[in-house]
Amino acid sequence: MNAYQDLSTGHAMTTAAIVIAVVMLTTWLVSVALKNASIVDVVWGLGFVAVAWVVRLSVDPDSKRPNLLVAMTTIWGLRLAIHLLWRNHFSAATNKGEDFRYRAMRKRWGQRFPLISLVTVFLVQGVLMFIVSLPVQLGQVNDNPTLGALEWYGGALFLLGLFFEVVGDAQLTRFRRDPANAGKVMSTGLWRYTRHPNYFGDACVWWGIALVAATTGFGRWGLIGALVMTVLLRRVSGVTLLEKSLSKRRAGYDEYVARTNAFIPWRPRR
């Protein structure tokens, strides 16, 4: 690892931190004006896209890996942002205004909520975005111009994850549009094999991105980003948080839990 490599790595990380700070501060100001903190969920995916592109334009190497990382991140981030924008703000079936998590915080903190949300929502998500995006940052500082087997495995894992996200979200959207399914549990399609195919897909996407970055010196540290994303999805803001409310709101959900894996797809238990 030479001095230029160290300098480029620091430059990429500093650039990413500045981009994330600008994105999150701007989103917070808009959320205060709209009185809706839920817009941060849409901006989550777009923030990664911004990091990928700005870092790409600020580092010197022109090779396949940086371009591949930017393309993977852009596809994932735009798809997620468009899906959440439609689901949370335009779909009559699922648009219920501000997310219940933020409504509860707003009720608890009252007039102090804007400042509280700046720290507990936007700052926290900004820090997490910086950590999760490490493979996108570090993988673009290239000291290995060739693409090998590990990158191909990463690309395949990315496509698998994207499939689970796109198909899982489409199946759930179609299920929710049918008024006859109100209050029922989605347990067909991919949802027959995992209770959260979209979260499983999200984890696969980021492990795929991390593998593509892993052969580039400091890029191996990007595996930390994939690990943090998986922990968030499995133990913090994903499966655990969502299922606390679903078990209360969906009749038959406990039976669904008993026969279906929470995360990794597998055949249902009898």
pLDDT, tens digit (0-9, with 9 covering 90-100), for 181-205 = 887 888 899 999 999 999 999 999 9
Q: Could you say which DSSP state residue 59 is in?
A: S
- CB within 8 A of 49, min separation 6: which ones? 73, 74, 77, 78, 81
Report the pLDDT value the prediction gives residue 240, as an integer from 0 to 100.
Answer: 73
In-domain check, residue 173: yes
Question: Which of 126-130, 214-218, 245-249 is most confident?
Answer: 126-130
Report the number of distinct structural domains present in the chain.
Answer: 1
Question: Does 79 fall in a domain?
Answer: yes
Residue 209 lies in a domain: yes
pLDDT digits (tens, 9 = 90+) for 89-125: 776 556 667 888 888 899 999 999 999 999 999 999 9
DSSP 165-222: HHHHHHHHHHHHHSGGGTT----SGGGGT-S-HHHHHHHHHHHHHHHHHTTSGGGGGG
Fill in the amino acid letter for 251. Answer: A
Q: What is the pLDDT of residue 252?
A: 75
Give the count of alpha carbons within 13 A of 89, CB side only. Answer: 15
Task: Look up residue 109 and give its two tokens.
Answer: 């903190």
Four-point Cα dihedral 263, 268, 269, 270, nearest 10: 150
In a domain, 266, yes or no: no
Give the integer Cα–Cα distance in Å for 43 and 247.
28
pLDDT bin (cut points 50, 70, 90) of residue 215 is confident
pLDDT score for 180 = 87
Q: Is residue 66 part of a domain?
A: yes
Contacts with 246 (C-beta within 8 Å, 6 or more apart), sequence order:
253
Residue 270 lies in a domain: no
Selection from 142, 147, 133, 114 nearest residue 13 by Cα: 133
Q: Is residue 115 part of a domain?
A: yes
Contact predicate 65/142, CB 8 Å: yes
- Domain, as residue range, for 172: 3-259
Q: What is the pLDDT of residues 163-186, one digit of tens each?
A: 999 999 999 999 988 888 887 888
**Residue 127: alpha-carbon gap to chain centroid:** 13
Return d(Cα 96, Cα 210) in angstroms, integer: 35
Q: Side-chain half-sphere of 112: how many Cα atoms within 13 Å?
A: 6
Residue written as tokens 């981030």? 77
CA dist 183 to 78, 174, 201, 248, 262, Å? 30, 14, 25, 11, 20
Compute the CA torsion angle 130, 132, 136, 137 (nearest 10 deg).
Answer: 30
Sorting pLDDT into bands at 50, 70 and 90, what band is 61? low
**Confidence (pTM):** 0.90
Residue 36 domain-assigned?
Answer: yes
Looking at the chain, the whole-number percentage of residues with pLDDT higher than 70 is: 91
Residue with tokens 């990158």: 151
